[in-house]
Amino acid sequence: MSTSQHISVLGIFVADTSYRADRPPRMGETILGNSFALGPGGKGSNQAVAIGRLGGDVTMMTRLGDDDFADMAENIWRDSGVKSAAIRDPNSYTGAAYIFVEEASGDNAIIVCPGAAKEITPAHIEENAALIRNSKVFITQLEQPVPTAHKALQIARGAGVLTILNPAPAAELDEGIFALCDYLTPNETEAGELTGMTVETVDDARKAADALLDKGVGNVIVTLGAQGALLHTKTSSEHLPAFNAGPVVETTGAGDAFNGGLAVGLAQGLDPLDAMRLGGATASISVTRKGTAPSMPGMDEVQRLLSK
């Protein structure tokens, strides 16, 4: 493992098309919305931006089309201090996402089309193996093909790199992938889908986390929205309440903010609970703002919230 604090991220970039309305339309129905926004998104890209904004040394691995949305990706990465290891594919398109945001609550529903990122293969990961091996922390999600994430986790684990799998969106996973995860970071829904359990309370999360530890995961962190997050290991179980950074405007990207903050904390050598606190504070600030990548805070803001 590298002695640096470098973090490598494998994931996708998508252009977020965000629609705010009082409620979602029924099938066959047209309703008037309240506002529209176009901006950068994708779980992997959002996590990389969160890391970069927090001052982390980060590189983003993905596949883009050769189009205006790819330019958007490169621009947000450059502005956020994220190094790019992206491949441009002129025969495909850069991903896009439909995001419905319920005006009253800020809750969201999302459809993601990965575009060129759907074609990231284990062979592409082999080409970036040195980048992964020279990292302190490697993080990935499940918006690109699962076999590709599996290959990258194998390379990272083989090099002694700390691994984080954010299993979002939830997908069917080969049992062998769990033992490659130093940290697995599902939300309540994903923890439920991975275990077949209903996860609504902190105690529910503990039971699901036990089942995930039994699959070979090193540490489980279940993010619980307004209830905070749970760090569960073989020897301890710590519930961290959510921070209050102000009124909730939009929850889209909160999980990405959390994972980005967690990765930065672990790369800095913080213990898991303090790294989780950094992630929680990052997420709590992000939900007070509209958008995904644009909502990610800087380290000064996060430290001010942590010091309260």
Residues 128-161 pLDDT 10s = 899 999 999 999 999 999 999 999 999 999 999 9
Mean pLDDT of the chain: 94
In this prediction, what percent of the chain has a pLDDT beyond 90? 86
Tell me the C-alpha distance between 220 and 140, whole Å: 15
> Which is nearest to 238 in space by CA: 254, 220, 215, 259?
220
The size of the chain, in residues, is 308
Q: What is the DSSP letter of 131?
A: H
**Does 2 have pLDDT greater than 90?**
no
Active site residues: 256
* Higher local confidence (pLDDT), 53 or 294: 53
Tell me the C-alpha distance between 267 and 135, whole Å: 9
pLDDT at 61: 97
> Which is nearest to 94 in space by CA: 45, 130, 59, 32?
45
Can you tell me the mean pLDDT for 249-259?
91
Place of tokens 């599996």: 150
pLDDT at 300: 96
pLDDT at 308: 85
Tell me the C-alpha distance between 189 and 193, whole Å: 6
Can you tell me the mean pLDDT for 290-308?
91
pLDDT at 33: 97
Q: Which one of 3.40.50.300, 3.30.390.50, 3.40.50.2000, 3.40.1190.20 gives the CATH number of domain 7-13+42-94+117-307?
A: 3.40.1190.20
Q: Quick: pLDDT tens for 94-124.
A: 999 998 999 998 888 889 899 999 999 999 9
**Does 1 have pLDDT greater than 60?**
no
Token duo for residue 248: 């909730």
Token duo for residue 255: 């999980």
Can you tell me the mean pLDDT for 232-238?
96
Q: Quick: pLDDT tens for 21-64.
A: 999 999 999 999 999 999 999 999 999 999 999 999 999 999 99
**Does 4 have pLDDT greater than 90?**
no
* Higher local confidence (pLDDT), 10 or 250: 10
Distances (CA, A) of 258 to 39, 46, 160, 275: 20, 10, 23, 10
Per the CB < 8 A criterion, the answer to whether 103 and 97 are in contact is no
Tell me the C-alpha distance between 209 and 232, whole Å: 6
Residue ranges per structural domain of the chain: 7-13+42-94+117-307
Can you tell me the mean pLDDT for 279-291?
93
Tell me the C-alpha distance between 40 and 54, whole Å: 18
Q: Which long-range contacts (CB under 8 A, 24 or more apart) does 236-242 make?
A: 237/206, 237/209, 238/273, 238/276, 239/202, 240/273, 240/276, 240/277, 240/280, 242/280, 242/284
Provide the whole-model pTM: 0.92
Can you tell me the mean pLDDT for 167-177?
91
pLDDT at 257: 96
Q: What is the DSSP letter of 66?
A: S
Q: What is the DSSP string of 71-97?
A: HHHHHHHHHHTEEE-PEEETTS-EEEE
Q: Quick: pLDDT tens for 196-215.
A: 999 999 999 999 999 999 99
**Does 170 have pLDDT greater than 90?**
no
Query: Residue 246: which pLDDT band, with cuts at 50, 70 and 90?
Result: very high
pLDDT at 3: 60
pLDDT at 34: 97
Q: What is the DSSP string of 173-218?
A: --GGGGGG-SEE--BHHHHHHHHT----SHHHHHHHHHHHHHTT-S
